[in-house]
Amino acid sequence: MRVIEGWIQLPVWQLLAVLVAFYVATGAAIHWLAFHSPASRWTLSFNGVVGPFFVSAVLIFGLLHSFVAREIWQRNDEAAQVVRAEGDALRALTHLIPEGDPATARTQDLIRAYAQSVIADEWPQMRQGKGGVASETAFASLLTAIVDAPVSRSNTPAVQRARIDIVLKLHTLRGTRLAIAGDSTDGIKWATLLLLGLVSQVAIAAVHLETPRPQIAALVIFSTAAIIALGFVAIQERPFAPPLAVSPAPLEEVIHEISAG
C-alpha cells in the first residue's frame, strides 16, 4: 500500500493529475481493447449486455466512496473541534491567572509562547503527521509553571486545582490533535475504491459495445464524475495540510487576547 500512501502525500495538483491520468489511461485502454485491438472481435462478441448490468458495479463503488468520505470528513470535523477546544482551554487558563500575582506575567508569557510554537513550529510538522519539538518544550514549561505555582490568597487551592485540570486537559487535546494529524484512511480502502472505479468503467463499456462514440461518451462522463468524487475526498485526507487545512485561528485569538491584555 506504499503506492497509495505516496499518492495521498502528493501535492494537490499532482494528486489530481495522477488520478486523471489513471482513469484516462484505463478508459482509453478499455475503448481500444473493444474496438481497435487485435482482440476486438472477441471483445465485441459480448455485445448484448443490458443497460442495468453496470448499475451493480457503480452502486458498490458509490457505497464504498460514501463510507470512505464519511470517515475522512468525520476526522476533519474532529480535528477542527479539538483545535477549538485547545483555544478554549488556553483562554480559560488565562482567566484563572490571579491578578496581582507576581507570576502572572510569566504564566501569560508561557501560554503565549506555547500557542505561538504550535502555530509556527508544530502546524507545519503536522502536515506530515508529526509533532513539534519546540511545542513539546513550551508545553512542558507551561505545565511545570502551573503545577509548581504556590498556593496563596489569590491562588486558592480550588483555583490551583482548576488550573491543573485545564493544563492536563490541554495535554490530552494536544495528543488527540497529533493523533488525528498522523491518522489516515487504510490504504486497502483507497486501493479497493480505485479498482472498483476501474470495474465500473469496464461495466459501462460492456453496455456500449454496439457503437464506439456512445461508449466514449459514457466512459468520459463516468470517469469525470469518479475523478471529481475521489479527488475532492483525497485532498481532505490530511486535515492539517492545505488547501483545506484546519485553521489555527482559535490559538491565534488567544495570542491576540493576551497581547491586548
Q: Which of 54, 56, 52 is nearest to 64 (CA)?
A: 56
**Please, which pLDDT band fits residue 100 given cuts at 50, 70 and 90?**
low
The gap from C-alpha 60 to its chain's centroid, in whole angstroms, comes to: 24
Upper half-sphere CA count for residue 96 (Cβ side, 13 Å):
22
Contacts of 87 (CB under 8 A, 6+ apart): 249, 250, 251, 253, 254
pLDDT of residue 226: 95
* Position with higher pLDDT, 114 vs 160: 114
Give the C-alpha distances (Å, rounded to integers) separating 190 from 63, 95, 242.
Answer: 13, 46, 20
Distance CA 214, CA 104 (A): 74
pLDDT of residue 71: 93
Least confident of 17-26, 138-147, 148-157, 213-222: 148-157
Distance CA 173, CA 167 (A): 10
pLDDT of residue 85: 96
Average per-residue pLDDT for the chain: 88
178-233 pLDDT, tens digit each? 999 888 888 899 999 999 999 999 999 988 888 889 999 999 999 999 999 999 99
pLDDT of residue 57: 87
CB-count burial class (<10 Å; 0-12, 13-18, 19+) for 95: exposed
pLDDT of residue 99: 67
Structural domain spans, the chain: 2-260
Judge whether residue 22 has pLDDT over 70.
yes
pLDDT of residue 148: 80
Per cent of the chain over pLDDT 70 is 92
ω before 98 within 30° of 0 (cis)? no
**Please, which pLDDT band fits residue 174 given cuts at 50, 70 and 90?**
very high
Judge whether residue 134 has pLDDT over 60.
yes
DSSP for residue 120: I
Distance CA 123, CA 136 (A): 13
